Structures are given as structure tokens and as C-alpha cells.
Chain A
Amino acid sequence: MMLDPKNVTGVTMPWEEKKKEYPVIKGDVETVKKWWEQIDGVACAFLWFVVTAM
């Protein structure tokens, strides 16, 4: 089955989009990315938890 490229799981705001907010990241990019993605994933989990379980 072919999915729309916008249809990704576990993401509400992709890191690529978030990254544009920073003119430069002076330290470790991966640290910033990791925690953005983890917390955004939990926010996404909230949405689908409500849909599927509540």
C-alpha cells in the first residue's frame, strides 16, 4: 500500500521542521533532536491513545 509522505507515525512536528527554528545549534545536535523526538512522540501517543482506547 502506498502512503502519503506526510503520513508518518509517532510524529506531530518532524525534527526537520523544528530544526529550522534554530539559526545554529552550538552544541550537540543529536541531544536536541533526541529529546524533541521523544517528547513529540509522547504527544502523538496521547492523540492515538484517545482515539483507540478512550
Chain B
Amino acid sequence: MAKTMEELYQERMTRYSKAMMLEKPDKVPFRPFAAEIAGKIAGYNAQEVTHDVDKALDAVIKMCKKVDGIDATVSNMVYVWTGLTESYGTKYIRIPGIDLEVDESFQYMEPRTEENAFMKADEYDRFIENPTEFVANVWMPRISKYIKMPGETNTMANNMAWLRGGIAMMMYGGKIGAHVQKMREEAGVVSCLDGALKAPFDILADKFRGFRGIAYDMRRQPDKVLKATEAVAPHMLWNALGGANADKRIPVSHWMHRGATGFFSNEIFEKFYWPSLKMVTEKIWEAGHQTIYYAEGKWGKNLQYFRQLPDKSIIFHCDKDDIYEVHKVLGDKFCISGGVPNHMLAFAEPADIRKHVKKIVQDFGKDGGFILDAEAIMQQDVKVENFIAMAQACTEYGVV
């Protein structure tokens, strides 16, 4: 007799949970971080899955029903709903179908000059004193076409931007909550992330000072950069725990950028990036949650630092590092995910994917603590037949 959706869900949840806790599940879990590829499978272009959140969520359901073997996936990996970001007039996102071709992925546009930076070099003290005040009164007016700073002449556009933005966030939260339940009931698939963390240094570099700005600041005013990471860290923790899964079986997501070894030296990592991130990760673990370190790029020189974290507190997602090396350094303490290069998914043939997946799951699956995924989020360049081959091969060879 065929399994019910709930039976499938429970089986997949157990599989996913065991792997993350370094145990050996019945099969290597397949947990694709499927972004625009979900739309491609469902017949939607990038504009549709980026600007129309209902289509984005529908695409995930269709993908889960169409592709056998998905144990867990992200409820909406095209996470930026640009209908929401347009509601308050965001300046820094380029949107498919508006600024970009309909089948291009949305893009973040970092200000290129100090004059246009969302936080100026001389504003650290105000930020450090009260980051929430800075976000509300300085950052939001700078990143929005509509929002005014206190003291500026008020407008209806300002008032309505706040109202629309707040309502849109509540709409998005409601839709995601219902969608996670729908994934469970209609496809028996686990929503693999809950809650969002950014490293304090990353948030400062990505959203406030920009890469050029932070690079100058670390030389010119290093103490203030450090204090700013410490000041924003509690807010990153609060934000992560606020969205975290109540039953604590689903990990918090953590998207990692500027700590990659291509950007800065080990000394910079050790001084500016790691202390506040370590503190926040440990607090999340103390609260009973794991964190997925989605380590974009190469992190080889910094892998050793992660060993300072409690056993099992993170799942390390391997992007461009050698996954065999990562497994050697971290595999005794943490679950590792990844394994399939995106260039293969875009350019190779299904037979190549099957061969590669077979080797990866047989090499790592025998000890447990491994989750199969692509190296990076999967966008529209991934061939559908390769995505299906990845799922099928994990089902076929993942029982080891």
C-alpha cells in the first residue's frame, strides 16, 4: 500500500534530522536549495517566481510533486519577493521583468560611492548606540524611494510606504506558514529552513557600508567597525530566534558572504568576522536550534575556526571548497551538505550527474552526517533533466 503524505513526511523528517545530528539515516537525504529551477520545472519564468509570490510557492509544490526523491527543500528559495520590496520602494534590487529580462535572476546593487552609501563613514557612533533607531530613521529612508527622514517634509508616499511594507511582510509570513503546511500535506516534503541569520560583519558590509566602505573602515576606524558588529549581533540573534522553528527540528539559515577567504585575510576574519558570529551561533545552539552555515564561495583557510563551535551546532554547506577537504576538517563535528557542482547541473548530461552523485553519496553517506545538494542555490541555468537525475541517483545510491 502506498504511503500517506504524512507517513512520507515523517520518514523524510527523520531522515533529515538524523543526518543533521551526525547520525546515519536510512538514506542520504536530498535537500535541494531550488530557486528559479523550481519555476522552470513548474513552467514559470524568473519574473513570475520573483514578483508573484503565489507562483513562487506554487512552483515549489509542483516541483515536489513532479520530482520523486526530494526529502526537504526551501519553502521559497527565491526568497526576495519583489512585490514586497516594491511596496516600500527599495532602491537596491534589480527586478526581472522591470529592470532585467523576464528570465534573469534578481540582483542586489551595492552603492558604488561613499556619497550614496546607506550608512556613511562618520555615522558609526549613532549606529552603535541604537541600531534599530538607525535602521528606522536613517537606513530605511536611504534605501527607499518613498520613506522620509525625521525632519523632512512628510508625504503621503512616506506614510503609505510604511503601511504597505508592514502589511506585505505580514502577508508574506502568512503565505509561507500556509505553504509549509501545504508542502507537508500535498507532497510529504519537509520545509528545510526556519529563521534567518546574517553574520554581524556581513550585515554591516552588505547592507550598510558596502564592501568598499567596510574595507576602508577596517583600516581607518577598526574599533568602530568591531563595536558595530557587537552592537548589531543581538539583533541578528533576536531576528534569527524570532523566526526559528518551534519544535526545534529545523535549522536556522545563515547566508555567509564576506568571511570567505577570497575577500579578506585570516587576521581580518579572526578579528572582525568570527567573534560576533561565534557568539550568535552559540546562543542559537543554547536555545536549542542548529544553524546551517551556507558558506558561499571558498572558506578553506577559515574552516578551523568553526571547530570552536559545539558539536552538531551547525550544518556546514560546502560551495566552492573541496568537499573532501571540508569533510576531513569538519566531518567529525558537523553534518556536511552540498556535493554537486552547479556547472555540472548546467552543462553536463544526466549520466554524468548520476555518476557524480553515486560517488559522493557512497563516499560520505556510509558514515551518516551528509546531505546531498548542489554547491549553490539552483537557478534557471540548471537543466531540469539534471535536477531529476540528481534526485533519482540519490534515491538509488543513497542507501549505503
Please name the residue on chain B nearest to A10 by beta carbon.
B238
* Most chain A beta-carbon neighbours within 10 Å: one of B88, B133, B235: B235
Bound Cα distance from A48 to B231, whole angstroms: 14
- Assuming the A-B contacts A6-B133, A12-B132, are A52 and B234 also in contact, with contact meaning beta carbons closer than 8 angstroms in the complex? no
Contacting residues of chain B (194-231) with chain A, CB-CB under 8 angstroms? 196-198, 203, 207, 230-231
What B residues does A10 contact at CB under 8 A?
238, 242
Q: Is the CB of A54 within 8 A of B90?
A: yes
Contact of B203 among A7, A42, A52 (CB under 8 A): A52
What B residues does A47 contact at CB under 8 A?
132, 135-136, 140
Contacting residues of chain A (23-54) with chain B, CB-CB under 8 angstroms? 42-54
Bound Cα distance from A48 to B207, whole angstroms: 11
Confirm or deny: B139 has a beta carbon within 8 angstroms of a beta carbon on chain A: yes
Bound Cα distance from A12 to B242, whole angstroms: 16
Confirm or deny: B79 has a beta carbon within 8 angstroms of a beta carbon on chain A: yes
Confirm or deny: B392 has a beta carbon within 8 angstroms of a beta carbon on chain A: no
Contact of B230 among A1, A6, A54 (CB under 8 A): A1
Instruction: Please give the number of chain B residues whose Cβ is less than 8 angstroms from any Cβ of chain A in the complex.
Output: 38
Could you mark each residue 128-141 of chain B with 1 if its beta carbon is under 8 Å from any beta carbon of chain A, else 0?
A: 11111101100110
Q: Is the CB of B234 within 8 A of A9?
A: yes
Q: Is the CB of A49 within 8 A of B239?
A: yes
Please name the residue on chain A nearest to B81 by beta carbon.
A54
Contact of B169 among A3, A4, A8, A49 (CB under 8 A): A49
Q: Is the CB of B166 within 8 A of A43?
A: yes
What B residues does A45 contact at CB under 8 A?
169, 239, 242
Chain B nearest CB: distance from A37 CB in Å?
14
Bound Cα distance from A46 to B132, whole angstroms: 11
Q: Is the CB of B129 within 8 A of A46?
A: no
Confirm or deny: B97 has a beta carbon within 8 angstroms of a beta carbon on chain A: no
Bound Cα distance from A9 to B237, whole angstroms: 9
Q: Is the CB of A4 within 8 A of B140?
A: no
Contact of A51 among B80, B93, B165, B203 (CB under 8 A): B203
Chain A nearest CB: distance from B117 CB in Å?
15
Counting from the closest, the 8 A-B pairs by CB-CB distance are A9-B238, A6-B130, A1-B230, A48-B239, A47-B135, A4-B129, A9-B234, A52-B198
7 contacts between A and B (CB under 8 A): A8-B132, A9-B234, A11-B132, A45-B239, A48-B239, A49-B169, A52-B236
